[in-house]
A and B are shown apart, each in its own frame.
Chain A
Amino acid sequence: MVHWSAEEKQLISSVWGKVNVEECGAEALARLLIVYPWTQRFFDNFGNLSSPTAIIGNPKVRAHGKKVLTSFGEAIKNLDNLKATYSKLSELHCDKLHVDPENFRLLGDILIIVLSAHFGKDFTPSCQATWQKLVGVVAHALAHKYH
């Protein structure tokens, strides 16, 4: 089980408390699809992904980004029980969605960049370190039931 210090929990909740989940989620997913275009392979039915502008404005991308980040919020509420919290989601991503777990790591890194862009100086090195740990643990939990 992952250990979280009081300071780490503080850094996570103080950042998360100020995050607009809908905006941040939309931006993170859009950036994933733009920066790593091969990730578009999972979204053939999303319509127009032909340019960064199209991706950023795509309503399905925005909606899905919000969904993903909302789920991330669940992880933050259950830091001491992540594997169990994400057990069904992990099975879904493996058995139905067939998503390579590498994509969770890519999205995690993108999220941190989005947070850093949004919070500027307030996203301190300790913040980043804690959040890198968090996204790594979330990615691991999501990949945990893969077989």
Chain B
Amino acid sequence: MVLSSADKNNVKGVFAKIGGQAEAYGAETLERDVMFAAYPQTKTYFPHFDLGKGSAQVKGHGKKVAAALVEAANNIDDIAGTLSKLSDLHAQKLRVDPVNFKLLGQCFLVVVASHNPAVLTPEVHASLDKFLCAVGNVLTAKYR
């Protein structure tokens, strides 16, 4: 899957709009994904976390995830290079089943939509979805 220049501009636009809120969005994405009913099976990857409402660990982890997305968006011409270390980590240590990246992507889109409905036009939605897919692909690229 290839990100067109229009896609790249759309993605950069979204993250520019989100700006400093990215970390909060990241936290909220995980809360929706991990804690709330949405996808309870994703909690199996966090047995070492307190997953109660308002958990500092979940917030902290959400910030990390968001920071990686921001980094990828800022270096959108070389997502693979930018996320190479994270890709190694997921392949060798974390080994999160690939299906979960789609789930996280879905929750991130839901969070963006809920906070910025005007930003998420159909075209931007498509670009952001592609971007999130691309990130997921990079993170699972070295799995086998």
Contact = CB atoms under 8 A, between A and B. Distances in A.
Interface string B106-144: 000000000000000000000000000000000000011
Looking at chain B's contact residues, the main secondary structure is helix
Interface in B37-81: 40-42, 44-45, 47
A40 B41 contact: no
Interface in B16-31: none
Given A94-B44, A143-B41, A146-B40, A100 B97 contact: yes
Contacts of A36: 144
Nearest to B140: A38
A101 B41 CA distance: 7
B100 A102 contact: yes
A94 B47 CA distance: 10
Interface in A36-57: 36-41
A100 B44 CA distance: 6
- B interface bracket (residues with beta carbon within 8 Å of A): 10 to 19
The bracket for how many chain A residues form the interface is 10 to 19
Dominant SS among interface residues on chain A: helix
Nearest to A94: B44
Which interface residue of A41, A99, A100 has the most chain B CB atoms within 10 A? A100
Which of B41, B91, B96 has the most chain A CB atoms closer than 10 A to its own CB? B41
A3 interface: no
Interface of B: 40-42, 44-45, 47, 91, 94-100, 143-144
The 9 closest A-B pairs by CB, nearest first: A38-B95, A41-B95, A98-B44, A102-B97, A98-B47, A102-B99, A101-B41, A100-B44, A100-B97
